[in-house]
Each structure stands twice: as structure tokens, then as C-alpha cells.
Structure 1
Amino acid sequence: MTKKFSSLLLLLCLSLQALHAQKLLPQDEKALRRSQDTLQKVADQMLHGLNDNIKQNALEAFIPKLVRALKTNNSFYFPFDSLQTISIKYPKDSTFRIFTWLQETDNGFFQHHGAIQLNTPDGSLKLFALIDSSDAIVNRDTITSNKAWYGCLYYNIVQTHFFNQEYYTLLGWDGNNPRSQKKLLEMLTFKNGQPVFGGPYFSFEEDTVKRPTQNRFFLEYKKEAAVMLNFSADMDEIVFDHLISEINEPSKKFTYVPDMDYEAFKWKGGKWVHIDKIFHDALPNGKPPIPVPLDMKSKDNTHIQSEEEVQAQKAAEAAAQQPATKKKPGKKQ
């Protein structure tokens, strides 16, 4: 047997082993479906329970049940798609997935919970619990671990690449409190196999007014407002609403609303570079379009003009606005 043939045979065997490792056995899939039914009932109580005690008891029941289900070999390939109140997001390369969910307290504040499950070669469980520490984080523009996580509900993951490293930009929503809500961007990377949240990846170096690079980007706004922050595949940018205070008090984030203008981040050189205005024909301050005001003094309301007269008047007005051109001096011909 030649060395080349032996190498090909070994590669084929390894490929078959990897394919087999990715299969979820029928009996395991059946057991996970039963677990999913139980988890969904408990998850509903976490979100819709009548009071904080019921929600907390549901949480304390949900977490060990979820971990027990995930310990099933190759559970990564079970989608848990019936867990309608749990957000489960995957990057393009499917190297991991993130579970996140929320609890709203009786007084209108939000707490978040989650976990990262790695896609392991042998199908065994590798899980990182996400501990919501947002209330204790004094400086939110910082780099954290999964044990000091800025809690939110993730609704999208944008995977980018730079210099042989993968970057995962997480887009999240935080219900925050009774007066405001938040959306955020943060980078997830892995260092020595451990998740790292945040980093100097949000740059404002191309803005007219320079700002320091941020480790995490936030939008905080009025509770009732609808604010967009998401990745546009057509534009290849993360696009978001430009916000202003509706009462002209910028320090009060709970008064911020969209003004019909848009900003963006573009992936350049291993970071997201801010674009302060992406539609330069946007209307100022969200004002509706209006025609050029009529000069009522020159308007003759006693005469109904024909179409030919209207066009002739427009042509005359346009000609009057053109600058006069001077002839160059020269000899008479």
C-alpha cells in the first residue's frame, strides 16, 4: 500500500468519523424532543408568570433542565426550535450558538440570562454560562468575560474575518427599565478557548468630530420608540437610526427618538468604522418634504393659466436664475 493511498484512506476514515459524530441518534433526538416540551412550559412561566416569585422559581427549574438536555451527545444539532421565548443564534461557521432569554420584573426592570454552547468535535458538551452583571458594571465601555456579561437578548450575529481570526459581532436588545430601552453592539472573540466580550472595535476615526474608539456601542432611547439597529446585507453595513432628544435635553436618554436620518458601521481593517450619515439626501430633522413656497404677491389669482402659459412661465423663471454671461472682447468679423 503506497504512502499516498494510506493518507487518503486515513483522511476518508477521519471524515466518516466526523460525519458520524455529527449525527444525533434517534433515541437521543426523541428524548430531546420530550425535554423541549418541558422546557417550553417552564420558559413560558419565566416570561409570563404572574409575579416575580413564579418567574424566579421557573428560572431555577429551567436552567438545570436545559443543561441536562444539552449534555446529550451531539445536542448541538438539535435546534430547540419550539422554545419560542428563547433566542438561539448561530454564526455563519456554526462553531457555537448562544442561548439568551429575559425576565421582566414586577416593577418594569429587565434581567437577562444565557449560555454559549460550543460545537465540539466529539459531540460532548462545552458550555459557558452568561452571568448578567450589567447593574454592577460601572464603566460599560469595558472588556468582560462570560462571568461579567452585559446582559441582553441577542437577535443577530455578524461574522467577519481579519488576519486569520474570526470576529463575531453581537447585536442585542435590553428592555432596561420602565422609561428606556437599549440596543447594543459588542464583539465576541475567543482567547485560549474562553469567550471575551467587548474590545476596541468601534472606531470613529473618519468622523468630522473625532471620538475615542469604543469597546461596546449603545443606543438608549424612549421606551415607546421603535429604533432600528441591524446588519444590511445589501449595504454590507450595520445600519441604525440617528437619535435626538424630543425635548432637546441630550442628557436624558429616555427622551431619544429617531429623526429619520441614519448612521452605519463599515467593517474596515479589523474594526467597525463609523459613518455618520449614509443617506445625504435625507430630510433635515425628520421634516416632511414641502414644495418651494409660492410668492403670493406675484401670483395672479384672477387668471387661470393654460398648460402652455405655465411652461412658459417656468422657463422664464429658470432663465432669470441663470447668471449672465459676458462676451469675450474681440475684433469684429
Structure 2
Amino acid sequence: MLKFLTSIVFVFVFGNGIAQRISPADSAYFKSAGDTLKEQSAITMDSENYIERFKADSLFTKVLVRAMVKPYSFYYNFSEVNTTSFLYAPDSSFRIITWHLSLDDARFRQRGVIQMNTPDGAIKIFPLFDVSDFTENPLDSVRTPRNWIGAIYYKMLLNKHNNKKYYTLLGYDENNLRSTKKWMEVLWFNDRQEPIFGGSIYLPADSLNPKPRLLYRYNIEYKKGTTAKFNYDEDDKIIVQDNLMSESNDVSKKFTYVPSGYYEGFEWKNGQWVNIPQLYTQNLGEDNAPTPHKIIGKSGFIEEEEEAVKPNATKDKKKPKKKSK
């Protein structure tokens, strides 16, 4: 459940002293708001009537914004709402809240807002506007909150380069009826402390792309109903993803892509994420595949693997020892 996320990120944010910044009256208000958000989120997720979904999403947004404009609302985690991602920066400087609205059976619109952690509890938020449906190439540009490529974020990393902080977001997108997407997005703040989306992601040449590529963001797309790993390995300090292949041998049809049994990934080097084409040189087989960990249940929409490759899976094949003569 997504409560797993909020319980983890709040370990370092909420001590007794910090929690005391919220008055008893405001705490009761936030709890009531959280209950309303949970109720409206359920309607948004489950109702078969699109008018009811839109109304519920509109009320959800209003209630959330009204709660966020109260002083020190940053320190309330809204753990009641288990179908919305409240993801905190590792340095506690902000949180990003993301959810989605189902427009119909085949289209989804992401919603989001960034809330800054201000020392005096003052309100500083940045609404996010998803323009994915109107963007031909979402990988090719630096963006602002007003032309955001939407995703439901489940992981945030913090890296530094030249005394500047870069926050890498991993996210999930229902996309459409036939395929699902997962995203890697780099978020940073300009001199005016405004959020900017887009970083340097380097991909070497391969059989499909004869020239190396430098992207602003990165995604994988795969067959609906398939689970594809795309998460951070804390031990090796790399982002690990399933290598994908078309089950119909048609690389142009992303909705036919499924995990190949091999893994690739990304490593942070000199201010950019650099692709590692092959992490494991042997097919791990079904019994040794990473174990999925579902964050949101049947009424939700995020499925992501949290477990690393099992210990008996090796990264490199060992050469057989030569027999002594």
C-alpha cells in the first residue's frame, strides 16, 4: 500500500518537536480533510460514471489546496489517502503530491502539486499541469510545472553536482488500454527557487539507435498487465530496469514489450545518468527473477518492484576453472 511510502519518508521528517508546530485544531482539520480526500479519491478511481469522476477529482483538488494553505500543513502526511502519492524529498525541502484522473477507459490525466517546506510555515506551492497528451516528443525538452510530463511518483533520489542539487523521480503512468509507462525525471530548482523538470540522461548507441543520445527524461513502455522492474538499488547505487523485448518481434509496437529476463540500468556520473546496457550477463530464469512488491492494491494503480535481485543471481558468469594436468 502507498502508506508504505508515507511511513518511510516521515521517519526523518516528523519528530515530536516538528509535529508540535501543528495546532490541535489544525490537526483535527487535516484529519477531516484527509477523510474527505480518501472518499473522493475512491470515487475518482472506482466510479464508472465519468461525470462523477470529474466532480470527485475537482472536490479532491479543492480540499487538498485548502488544507495546504494552512501553516505547517507540510508536516501532515495525509496517510488516510492511500491512492495518492505524497513523496518527500530526501532533504525534506519539499514534497510532491501526484495522482491521476481516468478520462475514459483508454486515457488518463496526471495531477500534481509541489509544496515547499518553508521555515515559517508560509505557503509556497506549484501546481503541475500534465500536457502529455499534447506533446509529440516528451523526451526532448526542459519543462516547467505548466508543461509537465505527468507521472505518479513512487521514488525520489537526491544527487549533487557542482554544488547543485538534483532530485531524480521515478514514476508510473497508466498510459492507455494496451501499454503502461514508467518514467525517470530529473527535477531541480533555478535561481528563483522555481522547479524545473529535465536533466541529462545519456544512452549509448545500440542496434536501434546508431548514435548516442542525450535525453532530458527517459521512459520505458511495455504491455499492459506485465510487471516491469524500474527502481533504485540502494546497495549498488544504480537504477535497475528490466530489459524489454517485443514478444511479436516488432520493435515498433511498444504494447508488445515484455521483460527479456536480462537487466540494464543507469548510474549517476558527473551530473548525469549514464545507461549501463547490461547489468547481468545471464538470464536469471523465472525462479530467480526479482520479487514484485505492490505499493497500491486492487483499487489503485501503482505496481513497482522494491526487492533487489535475489542473492543466488550473479552479475557475471564465472569462468570454469581449468583442470590441472
Whole-Å separation in 2 of the counterparts to 1:271 and 1:20 = 34
Shift of 1:108: 2.6
2:56 to 55, 58, 77: 58
The aligned counterpart of 1:193 is 193
The aligned counterpart of 2:138 is 140
The aligned counterpart of 1:113 is 111
Shift of 1:205: 4.8
Whole-Å separation in 2 of the counterparts to 1:224 and 1:153 = 17
Whole-Å separation in 1 of the counterparts to 2:75 and 2:222 = 37
The aligned counterpart of 1:174 is 173
Shift of 1:49: 1.6
Residue 269 (1) aligns with residue 267 (2): no
What is the one-letter code of the residue matched to 2:43? Q
Residue 279 (1) aligns with residue 280 (2): yes
| SS in structure 1 of the partner of residue 109 of structure 2 | strand
Point out 4+ residue stretches in structure 1 off by more than 4 angstroms: 19-22, 205-210, 286-289
Shift of 1:257: 0.4
Whole-Å separation in 1 of the counterparts to 2:104 and 2:265 = 36
Whole-Å separation in 1 of the counterparts to 2:98 and 2:185 = 15
Shift of 1:287: 9.5
Q: Does the CA-based 8 Å contact 1:130-1:147 persist in structure 2?
A: yes
The aligned counterpart of 2:219 is 218
Q: Does the CA-based 8 Å contact 1:186-1:217 persist in structure 2?
A: yes
Inter-CA distance 58–212: structure 2 relative to 1 (3 Å threshold): same
Whole-Å separation in 1 of the counterparts to 2:157 and 2:89 = 7
Inter-CA distance 287–225: structure 2 relative to 1 (3 Å threshold): closer
| SS in structure 2 of the partner of residue 224 of structure 1 | coil
Where does the alignment leave 5 or more consecutive residues of structure 2 unmatched?
Answer: 1-16, 289-321
Whole-Å separation in 1 of the counterparts to 2:67 and 2:213 = 44
Whole-Å separation in 2 of the counterparts to 1:47 and 1:287 = 33
The aligned counterpart of 1:155 is 154
What is the one-letter code of the residue matched to 1:226? T
Cα shift readout 1:189-226 (whole Å, capped 9, x = no counterpart)? 11121111113x21135979652111111101111211
Cα shift readout 1:128-168 (whole Å, capped 9, x = no counterpart)? 11111000112211211101111111111111111111110
Query: Within 5 Å, which residues of 2 pair with 1:81-92?
Result: 81-92=79-90
Whole-Å separation in 2 of the counterparts to 1:288 and 1:157 = 29
User: Which structure is higher in helix share?
Assistant: 1
Whole-Å separation in 1 of the counterparts to 2:61 and 2:67 = 10
Shift of 1:288: 9.8
Inter-CA distance 65–205: structure 2 relative to 1 (3 Å threshold): same
TM-score normalised to structure 2 length: 0.79
Query: Within 5 Å, which residues of 2 pair with 1:117-136?
Result: 117-136=115-134
Whole-Å separation in 2 of the counterparts to 1:37 and 1:184 = 30
Inter-CA distance 24–322: structure 2 relative to 1 (3 Å threshold): closer
Q: Does the CA-based 8 Å contact 1:21-1:123 persist in structure 2?
A: no
Shift of 1:282: 3.3
Whole-Å separation in 1 of the counterparts to 2:155 and 2:286 = 31
The aligned counterpart of 2:308 is none
Whole-Å separation in 2 of the counterparts to 1:78 and 1:287 = 42
What is the one-letter code of the residue matched to 2:197? F
Residue 247 (1) aligns with residue 228 (2): no
The aligned counterpart of 2:233 is 232
The aligned counterpart of 2:315 is none
What is the one-letter code of the residue matched to 1:232? D
Inter-CA distance 222–253: structure 2 relative to 1 (3 Å threshold): same
Q: Does the CA-based 8 Å contact 2:18-2:75 persist in structure 1?
A: no
Q: Does the CA-based 8 Å contact 1:206-1:275 persist in structure 2?
A: no
Q: Does the CA-based 8 Å contact 1:133-1:148 persist in structure 2?
A: yes
Inter-CA distance 249–35: structure 2 relative to 1 (3 Å threshold): same
Inter-CA distance 269–223: structure 2 relative to 1 (3 Å threshold): same
| SS in structure 2 of the partner of residue 183 of structure 1 | strand
Whole-Å separation in 1 of the counterparts to 2:286 and 2:55 = 49
Q: Does the CA-based 8 Å contact 1:22-1:123 persist in structure 2?
A: no
What is the one-letter code of the residue matched to 2:194? Q
Inter-CA distance 102–21: structure 2 relative to 1 (3 Å threshold): closer
1:45 to 37, 43, 46: 43
Identity of matched residues, %: 39
TM-score normalised to structure 1 length: 0.77
1:70 to 68, 71, 88: 68
What is the one-letter code of the residue matched to 2:274? V
The aligned counterpart of 1:164 is 163
User: What RMSD in Å do the two structures reach over aligned CA positions?
Assistant: 2.5
What is the one-letter code of the residue matched to 2:214? T
| SS in structure 2 of the partner of residue 241 of structure 1 | strand
